[in-house]
Amino acid sequence: MSTIQPNNPLHGLSLETILTKLVDYYGWTDLGEIIVIRCFTHEPSIKSSLKFLRKTPWARLKVEELYLDTEF
């Protein structure tokens, strides 16, 4: 059963999709300056960043907020 979430702009987007779009748009260097998280500044990769973000709610929230504030 599918739940419709009209007030959730991130509904249907995976964390991997969000992160990939941000990296494509900003690059790792700028992303690490905007959101100062070690996984973005020291040997960054999608896989390691996803692992960290899935375990760290405050960091995930910052990434989601940046995604919503970015005009692609």
What was the pLDDT predicted at 22?
Answer: 98
What was the pLDDT predicted at 4?
Answer: 73
Structural domains in the chain, CATH included, are 15-69 (1.10.720.30)
What was the pLDDT predicted at 2?
Answer: 60
Residue 7 or 53, more confident: 53
For 23-69, what is each residue's pLDDT tens digit? 999 999 999 999 999 999 999 999 999 999 999 999 999 999 999 99
DSSP string, the chain: -----TT-TTTT--HHHHHHHHHHHHHHHHHHHHS--HHHHSS--HHHHHHHHHH-HHHHHHHHHHHHH---
What was the pLDDT predicted at 56?
Answer: 97
